[in-house]
Amino acid sequence: MEGLKMDYGEAAEYWKKKDAGAVKMDRAELLEEAEKFINAHNTCALAAGSGDFVRCTPLEYSWRGGKFWIMSEGGEKFRALEKNKNVCLAIYDPYGGFGELGGMQISGTAAIAEPWGEDYKEFLKSKKIPEQALRGLDHTMYLIMITPRRMDFLNSDFKKQGFASRQHIDF
């Protein structure tokens, strides 16, 4: 393939073209399947970037009220979050072959809860984390709340049900 020039635009449009003719699931059914997948996992890779800086961090999450809730002691991801609230997170099953794919990309908007504010305290209560335990730390634990805008969900089982294995939801 020497001399073949890379067409990034064509490559970027691949899924848009493929999805145009795909057999879609009913939105309510897809949302139910997405909730099952999200709740069956607890770890994601969170990507945040600003300018030429990009950070992708593995983190534990909770899913409640239609948002992803992530506690973090800090780190370079906050450099990007300060300037750019647009994030992407990925949740996925271990690779088991093309017939056993399970993964999800969620594009959304991040917000940081006010430490010790209402959302923060409600989250601690939901996780049964004693407030005093965090107040006793020598650093602040931050709460990142991610509101999904788009979810791309890949699940080989969808194909067995007569649907395209890749589905998406816009919120």
- Using DSSP, how many helices (H) and how many strands (E) does the chain show? 7, 8
pLDDT at res. 1: 54
Q: What is the largest distance, in Å, between two alpha-carbon atoms of the chain?
A: 64
What's the DSSP call for residue 76? T
> DSSP states of 7-34 as a string?
-HHHHHTHHHHHHHTPPPPPHHHHHHHH
CATH 2.30.110.10 matches 23-170: yes
Q: Could you give the CA distance from residue 41 to residue 26 in angstroms, rounded to a whole number?
A: 23
Contacts of residue 124, defined as CB under 8 A and 6 or more positions apart, other chains included, come to: 130, 131, 134
CA 29, 85, 129, 35: dihedral to nearest 10 degrees? 10
Q: Do the beta carbons of residue 31 and residue 40 sit within 8 Å?
A: no
Q: Are 77 and 50 in contact (CB under 8 A)?
A: no
User: Along the 171 residues of the chain, how does pLDDT read in single tens digits?
Assistant: 566 889 999 999 998 898 899 999 999 999 999 999 999 999 999 999 999 999 999 999 999 999 999 999 999 999 999 999 999 999 999 998 888 899 999 999 999 999 999 999 999 999 999 999 999 999 999 999 999 999 999 999 999 999 999 999 999
Residue 107 and residue 86 in contact, taking contact as beta carbons nearer than 8 Å: yes
- Domain residue spans in the chain? 23-170
In degrees rounded to 5, what are phi and psi of residue 119? -60, -40
